[in-house]
Amino acid sequence: MKKSSIIKNLTPVIPYLAVLCGIYLLHSVWIAMILYHLGMAAAIWRYRSQWTVVSPQAGARKNLVALNVLLGLCTGLVLYAIWPVLGAPQDIGLRLSRLGLTSWPLFGLYYCTVNPILEELFWRESLETPSSLPARNDILFAGYHMLVLALFIRWEWCIAAFVLLVLASWIWGMTAKTRGGMVTAVVSHLLADLGIVLAAWMRIVYG
């Protein structure tokens, strides 16, 4: 196997290392996020020559675009609705503040604008796979989220979240490969991230 192929196969471990280092070792959400984003940015730059970023085209599959919009809009609403049964600790707000998450507006602004773009370019473009079925990268994308979720919700909900994230990753990947375009996938991802941040903020701060 060529050295470049080995490096590319190891690239998906970036978020795992970022979360383990930032949250588990240094106890900082910001450090974890910045390490992750810097790692993704470096990989995106490294593999920029193979980008196929496109905007939605005329005649794009309307059902696929609609599915993306629905996915993005419903994520936060679902999280808000099921929050009481997730098993989140009563002192989750205090735990997050100890991890450096003290300003929800600042976190939300940064996370919801930077993260969707970088993640789509990283997972769906730089690490694109030819498969039309859920693939390794979809599993790895979902997997790193479990390192975070396992700290705050019950294990059975982690499993459910893992399955849903694999499906979301697959949908975004399929969208990016079709005439739905990378722009549609990014917007859907942005709406999902925004919904998650708003739902968590409202539940944690206002109950």
Measured on CA atoms in the order 117, 137, 42, 44, is the torsion positive or negative? negative
* Mean pLDDT value across residues 45-52: 68
Q: What CA–CA distances, in Å, run from 124 to 2, 89, 137, 170, 178? A: 22, 34, 9, 9, 12
Helix/strand/coil for 150:
coil
Nearest CA to 51 out of 127, 104, 111 is that of: 127
Residue 18's pLDDT band, with cuts at 50, 70 and 90, is very high
pLDDT digits (tens, 9 = 90+) for 33-44: 999 999 999 998
* Mean pLDDT value across residues 78-94: 95
Nearest CA to 192 out of 92, 103, 68 is that of: 68
For residue 183, what pLDDT is reported?
A: 86
Which residue would you say has higher pLDDT here, 84 or 131?
84
pTM of the full structure: 0.89
* Mean pLDDT value across residues 61-71: 79
Residue 61's pLDDT band, with cuts at 50, 70 and 90, is low
The chain-wide mean pLDDT, for the chain, equals 87
For residue 10, what pLDDT is reported?
A: 72
Which residue would you say has higher pLDDT here, 73 or 56?
73
* Mean pLDDT value across residues 61-89: 89
For residue 77, what pLDDT is reported?
A: 95
Residue 17: CA count within 13 A, CB half-sphere: 11
